[in-house]
Structure 1
């Protein structure tokens, strides 16, 4: 099994593998171009975003700077917006639904490391996918940890650290995030 296959399957893998290093370098070069392209060059930016992400629609807007590991493991729905300084460590798949808005300096991290100090010291790591439903809003400086799933219509308060999954129609906030309000759809 290749290191890429292990990575995508959530198994321990070696990130220094030649193939993975080349894929990350390709993403870095695309990001460098995107982050240096004027916001006035809308069509050019949209083309660069399409080349970078695994899937997206035409109605997305990414403020620069934006950073990610691979890009191809990120899938966003229609009417997606992310503010300045978003970092998505897409070692595993990241799926974000339609009508989602991400505040400034948000981190979405699928990458994690073994608890065993020997494995960790040897540079091995693994990942857990993240899913964010439709109509979600992540406030500024939110952190989404590996393996989290957020349901539809979830609002995450600024500065929150989301360490577990949550259902639909909630406002969550805090460190670790907890339910603040329920039944937003009513």
Structure 2
């Protein structure tokens, strides 16, 4: 794997189809971290794109799980952030492990700060300029420049000039 304009620590475990990874100039991914790019469960859209100047802290857990994860430019992801592109189905009457995966991936805009110990679940869309407080669980839509906190994350403020 060669990303000449990005820094990836030696102890980042990147598994799966690395041809589906696009890293912008100046991306830094620190380890130990895990990045998994696998299709499965009926989904075939695994892809990871990270925009220029984005920092990913230690103990990150990024799993495409058959769906795309897009992270914008100049973002900060604190330590122990988890982002997952899909989930297992939960229909009654069939074992969870046998159910198809569901999810449309995750989209994160530019200039977003996701603080430590945050989980971003499948289907989340985080607008540019948003700030996500530590220990939050993000699902659904996050407006641009929103400050979010909690589990599930709720808007608690807004970035202003």
Equivalent residue runs for 1:99-114 within 5 Å: 99-114=74-89
What TM-score results when the alignment is normalised by the length of structure 1? 0.69
> Structure 1: where are the runs of 5+ without partners?
1-25, 27-32, 38-50
Instruction: Give me the whole-angstrom Cα distance separating, in 1, the residues matched to 2:84 and 2:120.
Output: 6
Shift of 1:121: 4.5
Instruction: Give me the whole-angstrom Cα distance separating, in 2, the residues matched to 1:104 and 1:85.
Output: 6
Instruction: Give me the whole-angstrom Cα distance separating, in 1, the residues matched to 2:111 and 2:103.
Output: 25
Structure 1 or 2: larger helix share?
1
Partner of 2:21: 54
Partner of 1:98: 73
What TM-score results when the alignment is normalised by the length of structure 2? 0.79
**Is 1:70 matched up with 2:37?**
yes
Shift of 1:126: 2.8
Q: Please, which of 166, 171, 182 is the counterpart of residue 147 of structure 2?
A: 171
SS in 1 for 2:11: helix
SS in 2 for 1:69: strand
SS in 2 for 1:55: strand
Shift of 1:81: 0.4
**RMSD over aligned Cα, in angstroms?**
2.3
Query: How far does the alpha carbon of each residue in 1:105-129 deviate from its partner, in whole angstroms, 9 at most, with x for none?
Result: 0000112111213162425323321
Over alpha carbons, which structure has the higher Rg? Answer: 1
Runs (4+) of structure 1 exceeding 4 A deviation are none
Partner of 2:61: 87
Instruction: Give me the whole-angstrom Cα distance separating, in 2, the residues matched to 1:36 and 1:181.
Output: 34
**Is 1:35 matched up with 2:2?**
no
> Structure 2: where are the runs of 5+ without partners?
2-8, 39-45
